[in-house]
Amino acid sequence: MKIRAIAINTFREAARNKVFYLLIVVGLVFVLSSRVVSLLVIGDRVQVLKDIGLAAINFFSVLIAIFTGINLVFKEIDKKTVYNILSKPISRHCFILGKFLGLAFTLLVALGSMMLVFSMFLLLAAGEFDWRLLIYFLLLYSELLIITAVSLVFSSFSTPILSSIFTIIVYLIGHVVWTFNEFKHRLVDPVVKIVAYVMYYILPNLEKYNIKDQLVMGESVRWNLVGYSLLYAALYISALLLLSVIIFNRREFQ
């Protein structure tokens, strides 16, 4: 119940944030503008339309996840509202979990509305509805939850600006970490090789949630890989939430 109350309040707070709406609207403008851009292309117009639409949804939902996530805990501490909450019989881990679930729901609404508009737009512009968009939605949502959990970790001990920088860096690393797997076979020095191995398996690998290639090219999506990706997200998010709880538990509020 306590977690639910915090989650609902977090959602309400996010929903009152004008930046949240601004990002959704700008994201939708970009999605719809894909039609105009696709007119500049010779051939493969529907593919370009999908590429730009999906990239816009991806980019703006990541921005929403980062910029809403970094304020989650910091704002409560900065405005000292955290004292009111924690003075009640609410444990710190309930607070963190509630905050995370609230933002998860916020992201679900934001991403869901963008995907809905994009699906309808695709139906009107290209005359097709691709049910695999739902898989893309699911995987992108998992990626966003990982990013939110990362931002929650940074937000629990750092300022919003630093948190956003750290989260963006983790997001970018998450999309290039697959190269470590390529490098490790070419490395000769065993120490460097071990470091590459460790980095590859420790850092969040977000590229697995990027199925735009398969989606746009009409290739089949492998269900077992989707399953592994969802399991990976669940484990990674749990680890990050636990880390946030540990950091938050150690903080002293005076």
Q: Return the structure tokens found at 14.
A: 């996010």
Q: Is residue 37 at the binding interface for another protein, with CB under 8 A as the rule?
A: yes
Q: Is residue 48 at the binding interface for another protein, with CB under 8 A as the rule?
A: yes
Cα torsion 119, 121, 125, 129 to 10°: value is: 10
Toward another protein, which CB reaches closer, 6 or 64? 64
**Alpha carbon distance 232, 187 (integer Å):** 27
Q: Is residue 181 at the binding interface for another protein, with CB under 8 A as the rule?
A: no
Toward another protein, which CB reaches closer, 124 or 217? 217
CA distances from 193 to 40, 185, 196, 205 (A): 46, 8, 5, 18
Judged by CB under 8 A, the residue of 64, 196, 216, 245 near another protein is 216
Q: Is residue 212 at the binding interface for another protein, with CB under 8 A as the rule?
A: yes
Q: Could you tell me the sign of the dihedral formed by the alpha carbons of 112, 117, 123, 128, in that order?
A: negative
Stretch that binds another protein, among 49-57, 105-113, 155-163, 239-247 (CB under 8 A): 49-57
Q: Is 53 helix (H, G, I), strand (E, B) or coil?
A: helix
Q: Is residue 125 at the binding interface for another protein, with CB under 8 A as the rule?
A: no
Judged by CB under 8 A, the residue of 5, 55, 162, 199 near another protein is 55
Nearest residue to 24 (alpha-carbon basis) of 95, 117, 101: 117
Q: Residues in the site for another protein, rule: CB under 8 A? A: 37, 40-44, 47-48, 51-52, 55, 58-59, 171-172, 175-176, 179, 206-207, 210, 212-213, 216-217
